[in-house]
Amino acid sequence: MKWELRECGDGFKARKITGPSAYIRRVCAWPTEGTAPGPKYEINYKGLAIARICFENKGASVTSLEMCKAFPEISDLDLVEIALRISNLRCAAAASLN
């Protein structure tokens, strides 16, 4: 695993071991993406939205946006890893409430 996540302000900051960092913020539903009931996050890298993560039930879907192609240092596997780490943080937070 190459990414470390930590909470910051209104979301998370993800930092890759090799240097790049991205910000993940919880956002409202997008008009083009139906009305899935779970929380939605947007991954921003260098000030640009590069991906969206939608959590539904026990799974997540990661949608890479067109802008992501401009940054080869962040692959689809990196985006999936970030989604997995957010999921783990959400589960840990839910477990601590019980």
**Domain extent for 18:** 3-97
Q: How far apart are CA 72 and CA 70, in angstroms?
A: 6
Q: Which residues of 27-50 are buried (b: 16+ CB within 10 A; e: fewer)?
A: eeeeeeeeeeeeebbbbbbeeeeb
Q: What are 5-49's pLDDT values in tens digits?
A: 998 888 899 999 888 899 999 887 666 555 566 788 999 999 999
Question: Would you say residue 93 has pLDDT above 90?
Answer: no
At residue 9, the pLDDT reads: 81
Domain count, the chain: 1
Q: What are 58-74's pLDDT values in tens digits?
A: 788 899 999 999 999 99
